[in-house]
Structure 1
């Protein structure tokens, strides 16, 4: 079997992670347990997740000209992600400030920085997308660029996956270019205008295939062919849930790119998400293929 090709178009941030007994309330200061600084951003995380899951992965995005940008680029390259077309924008890189409590729950504030400058695709970037088996996008970069990437993929016959995070209202026509939508309950409600997130029919009216992630309850897959299946989570000890969604989505893109049935791909992605929560952090917590397989087969 040939190595599946995945192109990720998205954000890169430096994650500043504070660990504390509990998350602070508005206006409150909580004394923390520890602090970790690690490369992150949904796009970069999902690119690293896809590479570690066994995909030949190219990342298209923008980093700043600061020291964070140097670290972000080095981290992506060190994990096997192709950064040939990674842009550098004069100014600060994206930064995410993340608070994690002892139960593994988190709260995240993102300052986009260089990610805001990722506008318009070059001919070389379009060629990368056309050569891929799967294009994976999120929503931490300008939506105009997301729409342009999805349109380029559709024109080239490349499968498209949109992880519609963070939750926001989408421009008309964007979802028409999406083959597989990955959302949590909050993101699902943002897309359907507040309808019950469990109503898959509302989402399937917009896209042909949907994965609804359900945190510790696993995920749910539905499509226009009539499948609607709850996929249970793998039981593990939770240290930090920050990387779970990105581990899941990156692994899902790889599994679909290598030709797995989508329901089986979702089960495999569940194993990737579960493997990631056993570690603290974002990109550093993303599991490799052996870790995913061990949990999936175990």
Structure 2
């Protein structure tokens, strides 16, 4: 798999670049990396160019200590795509990556043929969720990244998969453990302070795909399917938690490819 690094302002962004043709951009979730998509990139790249960046402070992308926002992370992705001389893409954002995708759709709508939220939501954090973010910031400041990852892993997968998908669970654990404390803190603050983007979903005039996991313990389907318009299609992945691309790999690939056939109709 072809991995690259690109300098963007004061950051170095790591990304996977596979395949050729119309471009799909995959954006991972919190304490993840481009490695979240390693199982689905080979099949998607048979027909498309696939770009999968690691967000700032995640994977092998550098971190910044200053506070930053979801909009800043969307700008990182935009700058990467511009340097790659890409004019139009379809974007798929997982969890945190979905928040980034919605910010991208708001700031750079002309660059999108369509977009998908994979186990993500347009809603902002509730007050309870914000308090949870603050507690996690305190946790990693005092004890490092390991206790956060150990607490997060069981919630990412459907309960039955924590034991039956041991290799996938370990893969996600290893990626999480490589997240910098600075990156995790910055992302927690950015997620805590993000805005409600239901209006972005409601007003978008490009194809949108909302994908929920039937057994998602982090973002239930009612929060994923927050809007209904003629441009929005929905899909529930059975027997999947928050990591459908690992728990139900073939179904997620088929769902994304069907959507890409809509956003790239000449394919």
Shorter-normalised TM range:
0.3 to 0.5
Structure number with the higher strand fraction is 1
Return the structure number with greater helix share. 2
TM-score, with structure 2 as normaliser: 0.43
TM-score by length of 1: 0.40
